[in-house]
Amino acid sequence: MSIRKKKKFKFFSINIVGLICISSFINVQAQPVFEQKTSSIDTSYLKSRNQLKDYILDTGDILNIEFLNTPELSGLYPINQEGEIYLKRIKGTYVRGLTMKELKTLLETRYQEFLLDPEIYIRIDRFKPLKIVLKGEVRNPGVIRIEAFKSLKVESEIPKPFTAQDKILYNQVLPKQKEFVSTVSSIIRESGGLTSKSDISKIEVIRDIPKSDGGGKKKALIDLSSFIANSNTEMDIRLFDGDIVYIPSLKVKDPNILPNSILSGLTPKFINVSISGAIENPGTVKVPVEGSLADAMNLAGPRKPLSGKVFLIRYNRDGTLLRKNISYYSSASPGTSNNPYLISGDLITIKSGFFGRATSSIKAFTDPFIGIYAAKELIENFNN
């Protein structure tokens, strides 16, 4: 019995020793792995990315200008309709067309008449409304207008120096509760999204070059494929007022672009078209993006008896107006002349056919006589 206890104790001791050894092994192995995951971040990470180095100042921008060691000169300065700001001591100052870096250099030079080694810092406190030209393979190309970026919520928060005219300008260009930054993806959304032929790997962005760099234009190529594939925003660059964005067209449709762009939020799932005439449920119909005429007819139908051709009105991408009679066939393939794809804002009317028009004409001609006959019959019955 004692021998058995000794064996159990010995076995228990071995287990404890083994457990201690395993624990030590785990700790030894885990330490290097933990150390590999730690890394130091250099303080250079905190430096500004300087995304606004090419931003050109204009009417609607409100500048926060800080004079180091001279706080009485600091404040918010709106750029007026003449492209000027009103600064203390130097009065009206024309700043339209300058970058913040250029303005900083000019102001520091100008204020040397009044201050000893002036040091000035400038940032944009409120951004002007933007106009960006979007061309190429998108649903609704043209001029995209983006409202001003605003952070102050109420007029009482407006700091001085502000005149009464400044407040009017402030309220005109800065809509309440509107905060966003314009990027390539945001203007694609504003345009109604991509098509199956949009080449998002070669998007061109054309931008003005600042005066200090010689002026003119420069062009960058943007590949937005990673944004659609996995929401990578690295290439989704910020856009400025006056930028031109061109999205080229693929030679052959890519069936993956549209569903992927819908999932990434670049393209809406549905569009709205209006349908009227000889159909049971006229009105605004919501159809899928790249939906066809058959989709709209099925949603608003059925067509009324004796109906005829379909008439389509739409604005083309070049701004011209299309007016077209369509010989509609529900069995035709989507995208064909008998069953075209629709775009947002299309106006569709189902006309009456030949027999429908003839019936209407006969009814319009006979209605007065029917009324006269009914009145005559009523009078005769009354006399009798």
The one-character DSSP state at 70 is -
Q: What is the dihedral of CA 330, 289, 243, 66, to 10 degrees?
A: 160
Largest Cα–Cα separation, the chain: 137
The fold of the 270-355 domain, in CATH, is: Outer membrane lipoprotein wza fold like (3.10.560)
Q: What is the dihedral of CA 115, 159, 166, 145, to 10 degrees?
A: 110
Give the pLDDT mean for 333-361.
79
Per-residue model confidence (pLDDT) at position 212:
82
Shortest CA distance to 237 belongs to which of 52, 44, 59, 56?
52
Shortest CA distance to 90 belongs to which of 118, 62, 68?
118
* 164: its two tokens: 């009464």
**Three-class SS state of 65:** strand
CB of 200 closer than 8 Å to CB of 225: yes
**Domain parsing of the chain, residue ranges:** 62-126, 184-263, 270-355
CATH class in words for 184-263: alpha beta
In this structure, CATH architecture of domain 62-126 = 2-Layer Sandwich (3.30)
Per-residue model confidence (pLDDT) at position 279:
93
Task: Please check the confidence at residue 236 and state whether its pLDDT lies above 80.
Answer: yes
Kindly report, residue by residue over 46-99, the tens digit of the pLDDT: 777 778 888 999 999 999 999 998 999 999 999 999 999 999 889 889 999 999
Question: Cα(377)–Cα(121) distance, rounded to whole angstroms?
Answer: 95
The yes-or-no answer to whether 62-126 and 184-263 have a common fold is: no
Confidence bin at 168 (pLDDT 50/70/90): low
Residue 85, judged by CB atoms within 10 A of its CB (0-12, 13-18, 19+), counts as: buried
